Amino acid sequence: MVQAKPHLPSLTENLQQLSPSGSQQIIQFNHPEKYRTSEWYTGHGEIAASGDGRSFEISATYALKAEVKLVDGVFEPSNLTLAEVYNPRGRCVAIVDQTVDELYGESLRSYFEYHEIPLKLLACRAWESDKTPETVHRLLQFLGKDGCDVSRNEPVLVVGGGVLSDVAGLACALQHRRTPYIMVGTTVVAAIDAGPSPRTCTNGSQFKNSIGAYHPPVLTLVDRNFFGTLATGHVRNGMAEIIKMAVTDDPTLFELMEQYGSQLLETHFATLDADEKLGEIADEVIYRALFSYMKHEGTNMFETYQDRPHAYGHTWSPRFEPAAKLMHGHSVTIGMAFGASLAVEMGWLKLEERDRIIDLCRSVGLSVYHPILEDIDLMLEGQKNMRCKRGEQGLWAPLPKGIGSCDYAQEVSSGLLQTAVENHKQLCSSLPDHGKGKEIYLSDLGLE
């Protein structure tokens, strides 16, 4: 017997059900908790039918819970932070910077053995020259079906510096379109900036960090004990990102850096031969830099808005950093010092405030000048790239307005750019080393 086909309502009938009168109707969707894919992500949405049976509009919100924590001895067996995450899941899948694995791999493995948590670990070389789509692809092979086959609710543990956090974060963003990860930043840059950042990426052919996804770690653990084994040049490099937040957002942090910056550099944030008081200062500096950064970055996760103080020093530098093969931190301070001179030119900053910014960068050996600034065509190209990246409305270049606050320059004409470069060059030519700084160039090991 042939059964009559069940009547399937047409789209128009469906919409008529939603909107029997033909008028607009809005339905809100709050999905029940029991259907949640992952404990860190939620979302809701609404669908609004126009009522004509031909169109509707959808708006959806995605919400993330991310935590940032200062910890002491993350791989000490008595520290339960990681064990509490991975014990219920029955294993830990980890991607670890190769150098960090050589230095801390034994304590990491002992930690998981002690807590009887099986560990699947990939050690990954993460030099700046490894920040490529090929590295991301290799990490995806480790995470995917032919590797560990991570689940969509299984947070991958990522342990390393800024290069690793960028590429491994991107691999996690791509795996299952979104796999959570926990970040343990082992360099100053990764601890206070790249690690908790939602901006995961790899380098493109011309422009740094140009391919990526917004995917912050669900948990960032900051343990400054790792800084003890860092090369001093990398400690210095990371201080650039702290100074960035101090200048644009936190005058107390600026004063702390003026007072203690060089001691923090010498002692690698009080991990080498330092007293307890400096340890407390180190924690306060790290906490303030992180809080200030995440207040702006963490709450504006998709760069939906361009009032981003943490982009100070990052407007022209993404173009000149790879061209001059500079360490990231030095390239940022050259960008910040130039930005301070430009802000003076624009009447936003007093001369003595510009000098305090330049003196602070120099007190820890960071560069404030490089001849590449004189390549005006390159600088204008950088501006063009940035305008495209930040949206067509303006350049949105954060520049200081006093110490601890900033505003955003929308237009910087080539004439103004040239004048600011000339004045900045003149200022820096009077400095003993012409503003060069220490250990400024990249090598495969990240230092000249």
Ligand X SMILES: NC(=O)c1ccc[n+]([C@@H]2O[C@H](COP(=O)([O-])OP(=O)(O)OC[C@H]3O[C@@H](n4cnc5c(N)ncnc54)[C@H](O)[C@@H]3O)[C@@H](O)[C@H]2O)c1
Q: Which helix (H) or strand (E) holds 398?
A: strand 397-400
- Of the candidates 437, 328, 428, the one whose C-alpha atom is nearest the C-alpha of residue 373 is 428
431-436, long-range: CB < 8 A, 24+ apart:
431/362, 431/368, 431/369, 434/369, 435/337, 435/358, 435/362, 435/367, 435/368, 435/369, 436/367, 436/369, 436/370
Interface pick for ligand X out of 156, 171, 230, 270 (rule CB under 6 A): 230
The helix-helix angle for 232-248 and 276-297 (nearest 10°) equals 60
Interface pick for ligand X out of 193, 223, 250, 439 (rule CB under 6 A): 193
Q: Which stretch binds ligand X (CB under 6 A): 54-62, 123-131, 139-147, 277-285?
A: 123-131
* Least Å from the CB of residue 15 to ligand X: 44
Strand partners, 92: 119
Interface pick for ligand X out of 96, 117, 131, 372 (rule CB under 6 A): 131
DSSP annotation string for 326-368:
B-HHHHHHHHHHHHHHHHHHTTSS-HHHHHHHHHHHHHTT---
Say whether residue 210 binds ligand X (CB under 6 A).
Answer: no
- 51/309 with CB nearer ligand X: 309
Interface pick for ligand X out of 97, 249, 345, 353 (rule CB under 6 A): 97
Q: Is 12 exposed, middle or buried (0-12, 13-18, 19+ CB in 10 A)?
A: exposed
Task: Say how many CA atoms lie within 13 Å of 5 toward its Cβ.
Answer: 3
Distance from C-alpha of 448 to C-alpha of 138, rounded to nearest angstrom: 28
* Least Å from the CB of residue 441 to ligand X: 13
- 328/424 with CB nearer ligand X: 328
**Where are any strands of DSSP class E within 186-254?**
199-202, 211-214, 219-222
- 93/100 with CB nearer ligand X: 100
Interface pick for ligand X out of 194, 278, 421, 440 (rule CB under 6 A): 194
- 237/341 with CB nearer ligand X: 237
Q: Which stretch binds ligand X (CB under 6 A): 44-52, 124-132, 170-178, 404-412?
A: 124-132
Q: Which stretch binds ligand X (CB under 6 A): 22-30, 96-104, 252-260, 334-342?
A: 96-104
Q: Which stretch binds ligand X (CB under 6 A): 42-50, 127-135, 249-257, 416-424?
A: 127-135
DSSP state, residue 193: I
Say whether residue 328 binds ligand X (CB under 6 A).
Answer: yes
- 131/387 with CB nearer ligand X: 131
Interface pick for ligand X out of 166, 250, 345, 353 (rule CB under 6 A): 166
Say whether residue 167 binds ligand X (CB under 6 A).
Answer: no
Strands 156-160 and 181-185: parallel
Residues 391-430 that bind ligand X (CB under 6 A): none
Distance from C-alpha of 354 to C-alpha of 340, rounded to nearest angstrom: 5
Say whether residue 190 binds ligand X (CB under 6 A).
Answer: yes
Question: How many residues are listed for the chain in this entry?
Answer: 448
Q: Which stretch binds ligand X (CB under 6 A): 188-196, 283-291, 377-385, 423-431?
A: 188-196
- 356/390 with CB nearer ligand X: 390
- 163/399 with CB nearer ligand X: 163
Site string for ligand X, 236-255 (x = CB under 6 A): -x------------------
Interface pick for ligand X out of 92, 94, 100, 349 (rule CB under 6 A): 100
DSSP state, residue 146: T
Contact 421, 374 (CB under 8 A): yes
Strand partners, 406: 400
Interface pick for ligand X out of 83, 95, 99, 267 (rule CB under 6 A): 99
Distance from C-alpha of 239 to C-alpha of 261, rounded to nearest angstrom: 8
- 96/349 with CB nearer ligand X: 96
Interface pick for ligand X out of 179, 209, 306, 315 (rule CB under 6 A): 209
Say whether residue 101 binds ligand X (CB under 6 A).
Answer: no
Interface pick for ligand X out of 179, 197, 331, 383 (rule CB under 6 A): 197
Interface pick for ligand X out of 210, 229, 405, 418 (rule CB under 6 A): 229
Distance from C-alpha of 193 to C-alpha of 187, rounded to nearest angstrom: 10
Distance from C-alpha of 22 to C-alpha of 53, rounded to nearest angstrom: 8
Residue ranges in contact with ligand X by CB under 6 A = 97, 99-100, 103, 126-128, 131, 160-164, 166, 186-187, 189-190, 193-194, 197, 199, 208-209, 226, 229-230, 234, 237, 328, 445-446
